[in-house]
Amino acid sequence: MDISESHDGMITFATTNGLSLFDSGWATIQAEPWEYETGLQDNYIQTIEYDENNVLWLGFSAGVQQYDGITFTKVGTNEIFSTMPIHDILRDNDNIWIANGNSGLNVYSDGKWEWIRPFTENGPGAYYITSMAKDHATGNCIITTRLNGIWKGISDEEGLRFVQISINEEESGKMTNVVDYPFGGVIIFNENTIQYYSESGGIVPIANYAALGYGVSRINDVAVTENGIFVIGTNNGLYGYYNGEVIVHITRNIDGISNDEVTKVFSDSKGRWWFITKGEAGYYQMDDIPEKIPVSIVDEYISDNSYSSESSEPIQVPVHYTE
């Protein structure tokens, strides 16, 4: 499950039942056997990211595709990606980073692929990369791993090299997720705690699940808005956290969302806090109530990148979940 925003403001959802897009209305694209060469290869999409040309990159349990709004195109060869699960995709200016399988990282730059071999002199000391984010203050790529800590990729006149970031895992546990922080540095987190990392200040605690109050036992996802509010998805609803205080708490009992298990959050350029539960998607804006968006299933795919639907029956967002 993943969410990304195009350069023109379309919100795109990677789901287990196809690709869903929202731009004043909903559209869903699903894999069809007769569109093997130009269509979506698999309905189960692991991760997505828009590149600098507004082309969407999609990662699957085996393989990578690009989508230009009209056609899906396979990326790589049988030797690259085809048999490997894609854990994360990161845009870094005009480069694309892909964390795949147990083989570390591949970087696409100037039309060429480069494999960043793990456990080499300048490579990361890990095979399984779980997530990636860019430090906007330094330009470094920060990666988290399943077993081998946190690393930063430094690009300079000598090339690209990875250096491990020191963290007290006995205190925090393994930090397996990293997301952007708009003001430089990155946010790292796991189910128990959220921390901030910067080149100058190192690791700084932000909050743990207990700081969010009664009923929270697990942090599922974190995003940070452009005004510095932490949007946190938990087992007990959606939280807005700012300056050490909970400023928003959206729950099933109070606000009418169908499930308190918020599995994914995303902050878009319009200030909307998108959330996904095991049953719906919607968004919240400050001084507003959570909004469930009416969805219409698309009956026909239009090749000029517009969508239409014969159905006007509002339904839940077409997203299916697995345990």
Taking the C-alpha atoms of residue 19 and residue 67, their distance in angstroms, rounded to an integer, is 11
Per-residue confidence band for 296, with pLDDT thresholds at 50, 70 and 90: very low
Which structure tokens are listed for 68?
Answer: 């230009």
Taking the C-alpha atoms of residue 259 and residue 2, their distance in angstroms, rounded to an integer, is 18
pTM for this prediction: 0.85
Indicate if the pLDDT at residue 322 is higher than 80: no
At 169, phi and psi to the nearest 5?
-75, -20
Taking the C-alpha atoms of residue 85 and residue 103, their distance in angstroms, rounded to an integer, is 10
Element of type H or E holding 56:
strand 56-60
Average pLDDT over every residue of 103-113: 89
Write down all domains in the chain, each with its CATH number in brackets: 1-110+302-323 (2.130.10.10)
Taking the C-alpha atoms of residue 236 and residue 123, their distance in angstroms, rounded to an integer, is 39
At 37, phi and psi to the nearest 5?
-85, -30
Predicted local confidence at residue 251, as pLDDT: 87
Predicted local confidence at residue 62, as pLDDT: 85
Q: Which residues contact 234 (CB under 8 A, 6 or more apart)?
A: 209, 212, 216, 218, 219, 220, 260, 262
**Percent of the residues in the chain that have a pLDDT greater than 70, as a whole number:** 86
Task: List the one residue out of 181, 235, 188 whose CA is nearest residue 207.
Answer: 188
Candidate from 12-26, 105-119, 215-229, 289-303 with smallest mean pLDDT: 289-303
pLDDT digits (tens, 9 = 90+) for 236-269: 999 999 999 999 998 887 666 788 999 999 999 9
Per-residue confidence band for 79, with pLDDT thresholds at 50, 70 and 90: low
Task: List the one residue out of 187, 223, 182 whose CA is nearest residue 205.
Answer: 187
Task: List the one residue out of 109, 3, 5, 1 whose CA is nearest residue 50.
Answer: 5
Provide the mean pLDDT of the chain: 85
Indicate if the pLDDT at residue 200 is higher than 70: yes
The three-state secondary structure class of 93 is coil
Cβ-count burial of 301 within 10 angstroms (0-12 exposed, 13-18 middle, 19+ buried)?
middle
Predicted local confidence at residue 50, as pLDDT: 97
Taking the C-alpha atoms of residue 264 and residue 289, their distance in angstroms, rounded to an integer, is 18
Taking the C-alpha atoms of residue 49 and residue 133, their distance in angstroms, rounded to an integer, is 12
